[in-house]
Amino acid sequence: MELTPEQTAEIDAQRESRATTRRATVPDLEELLFQPIPLLDHGFVRVIDYMGDDAAIVQAARVSYGKGTRRVQDDAGLINYLMRHRHTTPFEMCEIKYHVKLPIFVARQWIRHRTANVNEYSARYSVLDKEYYIPAPDQLAAQSSSNRQGRGAVLEGEEAARVLDILRDDSERCYADYEEMLNEDRDGNRLNENREGLARELARMNLTLNTYTQWYWKIDLHNLLHFLSLRADPHAQYEIRVYADAMLETVRRWVPITCDAFTNYRMGGVQLSAHGLDVVKKLIAGEAVAQEQSGLSKREWRELMAVLGRDA
């Protein structure tokens, strides 16, 4: 990802600006504020603003004034309890705002999480940059034979080269046609003074879904953690997972106690159904259990055995 001199100057100016405040601030996150974290080939995510910290969660849970308990281990114990028992409202007291640059097809997947405030770059008002996502060769994979929304083996050799050529050629051609229909470039200059050009809101429909868009995305901590539990999961699509992984690191800087509880109880833990718990109890007791008598489907049984490190 390359920033223009104007963008770099804007970020430098934001980072040089200082404001006095009585509200809680987090030095580790302040250090990262406004800086873009490069992702994919042209994308980024950067923290623009935030409200609250670990102490705010504790304060909200106890509905008290001040900073909650005096000892960090007491705050950690309460946050672990809240996370373990899925209490949500104390985590909603913290909010964070990101500026994200991402391919349109990732944005359409991302927007399914309807719990944030979003303002996206308008291609009705402005001309989109000539930037589009081309996957790295190690991300060119065939359709999975066992997962309808997953990937299988990585393509290699001539087949991979042909796919990359198609992606580049289609993206270049569609953007060239986009400019031709607009009859203007990114700076608003007419390409041909003798014709008008198509309206921006119509010309944009010709762009490929790997074209980059941008948005500001503000969300409370509870709903952010839900987003990350799904999108930072190893089974999530790679192109959205890299954004989620980067955002998880910003959460670690922002609310480290909460992030530790989240990775322990949500990312690293499992939820058992009543039938699944019954199977575990029987295994602990040394009883033989078969899938057919367990009340679990074959898929549920495989997943449970994988979690327990046993052969299905």
Give catalytic residue positions. Answer: 231
Alpha-carbon separation of residue 280 from 49, 277, 285 (angstroms): 45, 5, 9
Question: Residue 80's closest CA among 232, 255, 250?
Answer: 255
Please state the φ and ψ torsions of residue 8, each to the nearest 5 degrees: -60, -40
Query: Residue 143 forms beta bridges with which residues?
Result: 151
Two tokens at 135? 């996957």
Is the separation of the CB atoms in 82 and 74 below 8 Å? no
Please state the φ and ψ torsions of residue 100, each to the nearest 5 degrees: -125, 135
With the C-alpha atoms ordered 140, 146, 149, 150, is the resulting torsion angle positive or negative? Answer: negative
Q: Distance between CA atoms of 16 and 97, rounded to whole angstroms?
A: 19
Alpha-carbon separation of residue 79 from 23, 27, 44, 94, 245 (angstroms): 21, 20, 30, 13, 22
Q: Distance between CA atoms of 194 and 187, rounded to whole angstroms?
A: 18
